[in-house]
Amino acid sequence: MKILVTGGAGYIASHTNVELLNAGYEVVVLDNLCNSSEESIRRVEKLTGKKITFYKIDMIDKEAMDAMFKKEKPDAVIHFAGLKAVGESCEYPLMYFNNNLIGTLNLLSVMDKYAVRKLVFSSSATVYGFQTKMPINEEASLSATNPYGRTKLMIEDMLRDIYKADNSWDIAILRYFNPIGAHISGEIGEDPKGIPNNLVPYIAKVAIGELEKVHVFGNDYNTPDGTGVRDYIHVVDLALGHIKAIEKLNENPGLVTYNLGTGQGYSVLELIKSYEKACGKTIPYVIDARRPGDCDMVYSDPSKAKAELGWEATRGVEQMCEDSWRWQSKNPNGYRGC
């Protein structure tokens, strides 16, 4: 079975590509490399001993996508491509709407034209907006709190409308909680450009000595130690969820939606402690003001994915930090300079 992976050079996609190739799928990658490097594709090929067909295409370029579909005729698409930084989306909403919405619209039109109607979509826990009841299951109310989140919610709504109009589509919407960690080899991992916005990549840069200290955004939350609690999930567990989702699509389920999380929350301070253990160094930190828009606690109810996909996360927070550190220490400059 041939899978087109959009955004296939990125962080989550590169780990998914490893699992797809190991499971015997053929992988075609489309990426404009705006937030990634072709080196990740080469590393996945090296890790698996298998080839990836790569197209450097921007999803805004519908003709180029059309020509690629005509040539490759994929059986299904995993759609990772998109911009994902919340702060940047508040500053440049038009850029986010154009890239994420128009890009996805182009993809869906081309898929429909070539009758490729099997899709796995990368959604996010951000579509749940602010929730007070934990854990969050798939029935919780949906809302957006920033332009990035709005693009995820709008794409989900588009997919629900498309399915309603034509139920020959099979669509799996996957709502990720907080992916961290890296492949156990240390060959692929998260390679953020500039100063990281997210906690674990920031801790990793402090551990390697590139940044001075972690800024803990608030210690007066309604959580056991006062710092924010999130549902961190190992990126390899997340990748394996995509394999299960593709298997599900082959049963023609229609449109299905799953949380991919562990169901367990960890605080910022717990994460720092765990990372210290993994890297054998002290991670300096200071307590700063809360980051606007953050909430105290977010964690998933992942039981639907377990019941219907036969998937559950098995890697704990210690392994997430150990694997993150292996990637960071082996590749202090990420893929740059390769």
> Is residue 179 part of the contact set for ligand NAD (CB under 6 A)?
yes
> Is residue 103 part of the contact set for ligand NAD (CB under 6 A)?
yes
CB of 126 to ligand NAD, least distance (A): 7
> Is residue 83 part of the contact set for ligand UD1 (CB under 6 A)?
no
CA distance 244 to 315: 17
215 and 280 Cβ atoms separated by less than 8 Å: no
Nearest to 278 by CA among 181, 136, 157: 181
Element (H, E) at 53: strand 53-56
Burial of 265 (0-12, 13-18, 19+ CB in 10 A): buried
Candidates 54, 55, 80, 299; binder of ligand NAD (CB under 6 A) is 80
Candidates 4, 30, 68, 86; binder of ligand UD1 (CB under 6 A) is 86
Q: Point out which span in 31-39, 64-72, 163-171, 243-251 binds ligand NAD (CB under 6 A).
A: 31-39
Candidates 155, 268, 269, 305; binder of ligand UD1 (CB under 6 A) is 268
Candidates 3, 4, 5, 9; binder of ligand NAD (CB under 6 A) is 9
What would the two tokens of residue 63 be? 């003709």
Q: CA distances (Å), 287 to each of 24, 220, 226, in order?
A: 47, 10, 11
Taken in order 53, 252, 129, 93, the sign of the CA dihedral is positive
Element (H, E) at 216: strand 214-217
Catalytic residue among 128, 148, 202, 335: 148
Q: CA distances (Å), 27 to each of 31, 110, 112, 337, in order?
A: 13, 18, 20, 26
Which residue, 36 or 257, is less far from ligand NAD as judged by CB? 36
> Is residue 169 part of the contact set for ligand NAD (CB under 6 A)?
no
285 binds, among ligand UD1, ligand NAD, none (CB under 5 to 8 A by kind): none
Residue 202 among the catalytic residues: no
Locate all alpha helices (DSSP H) within 114-212, ordered by sequence.
147-165, 199-207
> Is residue 201 part of the contact set for ligand NAD (CB under 6 A)?
no
172 binds, among ligand NAD, ligand UD1, none (CB under 5 to 8 A by kind): none
11 and 84 Cβ atoms separated by less than 8 Å: no
The catalytic residue positions are: 148
Enumerate binding residues for ligand NAD (CB under 6 A): 7, 9-13, 31-36, 58-60, 80-84, 99, 103, 122, 124, 176, 179
Enumerate binding residues for ligand UD1 (CB under 6 A): 86, 124-126, 149, 178, 197-199, 202, 215-217, 228, 230, 268, 291, 293-294, 298
